[in-house]
Amino acid sequence: MPIGEYFQTADWKKEKHAPVIECSDVINTGEELVISLTIGKEIPHPNTTEHHINWIALYFKPETEKFPIMVGRYDFLGHGASIKGVNEGSLYTAPKVQTTIKINNSGTLMATSYCNIHGLWESTKEIKVA
């Protein structure tokens, strides 16, 4: 089965794994678009050595182009691991990130993410350039 068929989608208000994309719906050409990406905004996702979000990747598919453009990939590497044992460490990275882009065409933001237990997730958001 192609990997695309393993990406799961859901309403982020009911499903803690669905990426939440927050930004303006409409911007002007050349204006900075500040994008916030979060996993578990409404229902917090566990963040433990055994169960956590590994990464979020963001793409933008301009309506005028054939393929999506990769915006960035954001890794979350601290999950309480320690020489003392699991969940005994001093650091946990929360699965939240903010990035900024400029676009000159309308299109679709696509966020994908990976939970080490529950697999691949995706969500999308339309952006209009006025």
Q: Which of 109/115 has CB closer to Fe ion?
A: 115
- Taking CB under 5 A as the rule, does residue 115 contact Fe ion? yes
User: How many C-beta atoms lie closer than 10 Å to residue 8's C-beta?
Assistant: 15
What are the distances in angstroms from CA 33 to CA 11, 76, 125? Answer: 23, 23, 13
- Taking CB under 5 A as the rule, does residue 91 contact Fe ion? no
23: annotated active-site residue = no
Could you tell me which of 123, 113, 108, 107 has the C-alpha nearest to residue 57? 113
79: annotated active-site residue = no
- Taking CB under 5 A as the rule, does residue 18 contact Fe ion? no
Backbone angles phi, psi at 3, to 5 degrees: -60, -30
75, amino acid identity = D
Catalytic pick among 23, 31, 96, 118: 118
CA 56 to chain centre: 4
Which position among 62, 118, 120, 124 is part of the footprint of Fe ion (CB under 5 A)? 118
Give CA–CA dist 45/115, Å, rounded: 9
Catalytic pick among 13, 51, 65, 102: 51
118: annotated active-site residue = yes
What value does the CA radius of gyration of the chain take, rounded to a whole number of Å? Answer: 16
- Taking CB under 5 A as the rule, does residue 117 contact Fe ion? yes
- Taking CB under 5 A as the rule, does residue 10 contact Fe ion? no
Which range touches Fe ion (CB under 5 A), out of 54-62, 78-86, 89-97, 111-119?
111-119
| Active site (catalytic) residues | 15-17, 45, 51, 115, 118
Per CB under 5 A, residues contacting Fe ion are 115, 117-118
